[in-house]
Structure 1
Amino acid sequence: MAYLLSEHAERFDRSFLAAGEQKLADIILAALPDSVTPLRLTKIGVIGAIVAAAALVGCRWSPTWLPVFVAGIFLNWLGMALDGPLARRRNVTCRQLELIGQTNDLITQVLLIVMFGASPFLSFQSTLVILTCYLLFSAYNYVRTIALHARPMSYIGLGPTEFRILMATWPFVARAGGIDATAHDAAARLDTAFLILAAIGVAGLAVKAFSDARQIAAEE
């Protein structure tokens, strides 16, 4: 999305991997043939999310689905992270493409979060906590973008790409730690941990909102 960037946003709201991701994106975009369109990339991103979601369910019965899950996450990133830059590179940007891209990105992320609840890596309760936080942060992100005319913010250096990496690595962390959300005791401990993390995250968002409000007041 072609946002009007403020100096404040450029300096403080870039995610950890933004610079490296930009370089990688430029390499990939330069190699793409003309037959690959922004809309086609968006479709690839949606397909990747569906593949990853199906693999999460498959992991309930076999860990051999994990490579499929990672591949799906990669396809989701490839499509959703590059469709907008490709459109701008080819000067084919329009509001319709931006709307489709942003909407599909939101829907696919929600799908992946929800399907974690059907996997052995997160309980349904933990999934609801994460989903609530994700929607809260996303909603504030859009509000902030409009109010400050700034790029979408990252939170403590975490943007969409970092969030995808966290999703891709969590199943391996859970398996290495012997975490099985289908077991009642393990699920209860996991739920408590995520509730504490969510409370800290929401408190941080409240501080961020207060800071942004003071910035708007100072500029008026």
Structure 2
Amino acid sequence: MTSARNRSQHHQSFLAPGEQKLVRAIIAEMPQRVTPLFLTKLGLFGSIVAATALIGCRWSLLWLPLVPVGVFVNWFGIALDGPLAVQRGEARPRLGLVEHTYDLFSQILIIVAFGLSPFLTIEAAFIVLICYLLFSAYTYIRAIARHVQQMAYIGMGATEFRILMVVWAFTAHFLGIDATMDEGVSSLDAAIAILAVIAVCGLAFKAFSDARRVAMDENGHGV
């Protein structure tokens, strides 16, 4: 059986190569007093700032510039905490559990906040949230079953997802979209629902393919 130490992370997103170079450069200059746990908490703080700004946009668009600020702080903390722990030899299962838990709740908070903002209805936000949780759950299942932690699907990883959220907030503003004024199912809700169905079907196909590979490996090499 392959040990946990041999599990590899597949960084297949579009921005991953450049992002990893940037992360290494930042970590090399990181002061010793900055700890991985501090970065993890900073990431959660960034998500709170972004979520507050999104909700605040219901009453004033002066909150809008804080959305990318909060998302950037969230990325900074979440993207650097794990690599910093590895570089300093401080990577522990307990720390990894805290990091992943904070990251999960950070993204949930931002997605739900979108549903309370003018840029998405709460129904559309929950559709996005369900998809996010499904893909996250499968990532962890796949890590256990195949000892591979796939960090992206069809070129979209966590960083691309964050950028997409920021871009949508500004795009919706410039297009004059106001979800608080919609009654019933809007065309935007319908479009998101259709994309969600396509994404879930794609995930189901991948899960089926991975299950076949696992079965073939077991039949070929034994349990």
Root-mean-square deviation (CA, aligned residues, Å) is 1.6
Q: Which is richer in strand?
A: 2
Preserved CA contact (<8 Å) 2:7 2:143: no
Residue 6 of structure 2 aligns with an amino acid whose one-letter code is L
What SS is found at the alignment partner of 2:215?
helix
Q: Does 1:4 align with 2:2?
A: no
Deviation at 1:3, TM superposition (A): 6.1
Partner of 1:86: 84
Preserved CA contact (<8 Å) 1:4 1:151: no
Structure 2: distance between partners of 1:122 and 1:213 = 35
Structure 2: distance between partners of 1:49 and 1:208 = 30
TM-score between the two structures when normalised by the length of structure 1 = 0.93
1:24-59 CA distance string (max 9 Å, x none): 101111111001000010111011011111000111
Preserved CA contact (<8 Å) 1:45 1:78: yes
Structure 1: distance between partners of 2:5 and 2:14 = 20
Equivalent of residue 134 in structure 1, options 118, 132, 136: 132
What SS is found at the alignment partner of 1:34?
coil
Preserved CA contact (<8 Å) 1:52 1:70: yes
Structure 1: distance between partners of 2:208 and 2:181 = 40
Partner of 1:35: 33
Structure 1: distance between partners of 2:184 and 2:177 = 7
Structure 2: distance between partners of 1:100 and 1:163 = 21
Partner of 1:158: 156
Structure 2: distance between partners of 1:187 and 1:50 = 28
Task: Give the % identical residues.
Answer: 55
Preserved CA contact (<8 Å) 1:3 1:149: no
Partner of 2:51: 53
Return 5+ residue gaps in structure 2 as ranges.
Answer: 219-223
Which aligned segments of 4 or more residues in structure 1 are displaced greater than 2 angstroms? 2-6
Structure 2: distance between partners of 1:58 and 1:93 = 37
Structure 1: distance between partners of 2:6 and 2:175 = 44
Deviation at 1:186, TM superposition (A): 9.0
What SS is found at the alignment partner of 1:151?
strand
Deviation at 1:187, TM superposition (A): 5.9
1:108-127 CA distance string (max 9 Å, x none): 11011111111000001101
Q: Does 1:205 align with 2:203?
A: yes
What SS is found at the alignment partner of 2:120?
coil
Structure 2: distance between partners of 1:3 and 1:147 = 14
